[in-house]
Chains A and B, each alone.
Chain A
């Protein structure tokens, strides 16, 4: 985890491509084509893995979503029943609405928390070493198990947990609050806990690349700190916020483990609905839901990219 890991800066594909090759004298042309072959060989493993473990599986899901099934097996066929059942059921729509609600709430919270954290690190911590250390402090939990991080809320939120004890001790409530664990509240809390880093990192990266003289100029022109923030820094941080948003929204939309664990099975999400169908071996139904989910996620991502040009960051 060197400085590179903390920046998601990336050039466009081939951004620094070998321009000299174009103007090279004839003797070097052969060298250029050999290097071209080298490029293909170097890119081949990545292409192969993504082809086998990303493209083929998605194609499989699309194909299977048109298959038939009974209680024991899946039957190759071309039927639309899986989609009809999924789209025709009010449960599906409610589940989607609930998942979108989670996505919206978690997005809003992670955006505010992530921005404030990144803003503090980028503009208020002066030494580069301290900046790096504090950024790592935020990063380390991301590299530990999500499930354990969820479990760790039990002693805190449970019926006899720390929070309830504290609330009773202070006298705010007389009886332990039941809604703390196994509720929508717990789901959102855990998601914010798990996913905020995905907002902090890209926003921090964009903020670090803002030319400090622009901020100085704003102040010299008489802008207050707040005006500088809202008129200069936030607009310049938009690409980072957009990348973070894409991460957070797609993670929440596909999540099932947090919803299952933190709601105690009382709330629904699209991922959880799919996981349940999978455990009942209703693969074609799960596949149809997967296709709908993928399309939904792609629409959201396309909308974000339309709103904010993130290509400068890519």
Chain B
């Protein structure tokens, strides 16, 4: 804000506030990471009663918690399904919206409405619909669809942002050089928007992997991981809960970091190519 290059009191005030905000975001999370290493006699709160991997071991004994392995696998597969669908469908819809077509405005508002309708409504509606239609709800059908109503609007909005700043002259140049529309898309458009598509995929996967409300009424017989964790909160009173929290959060962090690193590498490579 100041042109003279010195940082005024407002900077330090707001900066301090920002640091507090980040602490607020990460502080609680780091306490459960610490507490998951509680000794065998430790409880849900500090002090630490020794340090051990006891609760992580406990996690992998079947009787300690419900079906941790199975629910993790289901969440993983569902996350990948939602990710792939979100990327493909948002990309296609993003391409469609680059031109005017009848019903475009309605479809756009429908997608926005999908963000505003409370999750529990979607959950109840999809669950009831399946029940009335006589189709048993399952994580790979009804829960899959219910989660898409949350991930697709995000994907679509990101695609809008991407195509909004997309320079059309690249496509025109490709066409002038005799490329077919498929060649233009696969050799010119796709490489340019690839980092953003990976971003859409990350959103799709993580939102699905962590979704609770939309899965509650739609998952059917077998739980996804968030449902399993929620079940645990009511009957597990040992740090094994924190061990599970630490592991799944670590898993999320690894995925996020992996994706960000991929995007950075892609960009660096492109920058090098355009420079050279």
Q: Does A214 contact B (CB under 8 A)?
A: no
Bound-state Cα–Cα, A193 to B8, Å: 29
Asked if A9 and B118 make an inter-chain contact with CB atoms under 8 angstroms apart, the answer reads: no
Asked if B213 and A256 make an inter-chain contact with CB atoms under 8 angstroms apart, the answer reads: yes
Asked if A15 and B164 make an inter-chain contact with CB atoms under 8 angstroms apart, the answer reads: yes
Q: Does B68 contact A (CB under 8 A)?
A: no
Bound-state Cα–Cα, A153 to B14, Å: 25
Q: Does B116 contact A (CB under 8 A)?
A: yes
Given contact pairs A8-B161, A161-B45, A261-B233, A57 touches B129 in the complex (Cβ within 8 A)? yes
Comparing A84-92, A140-148, A234-242, the segment that makes contact with chain B is A140-148
Asked if B256 and A143 make an inter-chain contact with CB atoms under 8 angstroms apart, the answer reads: yes
Given contact pairs A13-B105, A49-B149, A290-B121, A143 touches B210 in the complex (Cβ within 8 A)? yes
Shortest distance from the beta carbon of B252 to any chain A beta carbon, whole Å? 5
Report the nearest A residue to B263, measured CB to CB. A2
Bound-state Cα–Cα, A169 to B202, Å: 43
Q: Does A179 contact B (CB under 8 A)?
A: no
B241-263 residues with Cβ-Cβ distance < 8 A to A are 241-242, 245, 248-249, 252-253, 256, 259-260, 263
Chain A proximity mask over B197-226: 1 for CB below 8 Å, otherwise 0: 011101100110110110011000000001
Bound-state Cα–Cα, A134 to B18, Å: 10
Asked if A16 and B98 make an inter-chain contact with CB atoms under 8 angstroms apart, the answer reads: yes
Q: Does A72 contact B (CB under 8 A)?
A: no
Given contact pairs A58-B121, A61-B125, A155-B46, A39 touches B161 in the complex (Cβ within 8 A)? no
How many chain A residues have a CB neighbour from B under 8 Å?
100
Bound-state Cα–Cα, A55 to B149, Å: 10
Chain A proximity mask over B69-102: 1 for CB below 8 Å, otherwise 0: 0000000000000000100111011011111110
Residues of chain B with a CB closer than 8 A to A290's CB: 120-121, 124-125
Q: Does A5 contact B (CB under 8 A)?
A: yes
Query: Which of A16, A45, A286, A301 interacts with B89 by CB under 8 Å?
Result: A45
- Contact residues of A: prevailing secondary structure: helix
Q: Does B196 contact A (CB under 8 A)?
A: yes
Asked if A152 and B129 make an inter-chain contact with CB atoms under 8 angstroms apart, the answer reads: no
**Which of A11, A57, A116 is the most central at the interface, judged by chain B CB atoms within 10 Å of its CB?**
A57
Given contact pairs A13-B107, A55-B110, A60-B132, A274 touches B124 in the complex (Cβ within 8 A)? yes
Q: Does A287 contact B (CB under 8 A)?
A: yes
B136-174 residues with Cβ-Cβ distance < 8 A to A are 145-146, 148-149, 152, 156-158, 160-165, 168
Given contact pairs A5-B158, A124-B15, A257-B213, A147 touches B230 in the complex (Cβ within 8 A)? yes
Asked if B101 and A4 make an inter-chain contact with CB atoms under 8 angstroms apart, the answer reads: no
Interface size class of B (residues with CB under 8 A): 35 or more
Asked if B128 and A143 make an inter-chain contact with CB atoms under 8 angstroms apart, the answer reads: no
Q: Does A217 contact B (CB under 8 A)?
A: no
Asked if B124 and A287 make an inter-chain contact with CB atoms under 8 angstroms apart, the answer reads: yes
Residues of chain B with a CB closer than 8 A to A61's CB: 121, 124-125, 128
Residues of chain A with a CB closer than 8 A to B226's CB: 145-147
* Interchain Cβ contacts under 8 Å between A and B, 29 examples: A1-B260, A4-B196, A12-B108, A18-B98, A46-B90, A54-B110, A55-B110, A57-B121, A117-B21, A120-B17, A124-B1, A136-B260, A137-B22, A138-B22, A143-B206, A147-B229, A148-B32, A148-B245, A152-B28, A152-B29, A152-B32, A155-B31, A155-B46, A159-B45, A162-B31, A250-B115, A256-B213, A271-B118, A274-B120
| A interface residues (Cβ-Cβ under 8 A, vs B) | 1-2, 4-5, 7-18, 21, 35-36, 38-43, 45-47, 49-50, 52-58, 60-61, 64, 113, 116-117, 119-121, 123-124, 134, 136-138, 140-141, 143-149, 151-156, 158-162, 165, 193, 196, 215, 225, 246-247, 250-251, 253-254, 256-257, 261, 271, 274-275, 278, 283, 286-287, 290, 293-294, 297-298, 301, 314
| B interface residues (Cβ-Cβ under 8 A, vs A) | 1, 7-8, 10-11, 14-15, 17-18, 21-22, 24-29, 31-32, 35, 43-46, 85, 88-90, 92-93, 95-101, 103-105, 107-108, 110-122, 124-126, 128-129, 132, 145-146, 148-149, 152, 156-158, 160-165, 168, 195-196, 198-200, 202-203, 206-207, 209-210, 212-213, 216-217, 226, 229-230, 233, 241-242, 245, 248-249, 252-253, 256, 259-260, 263, 267
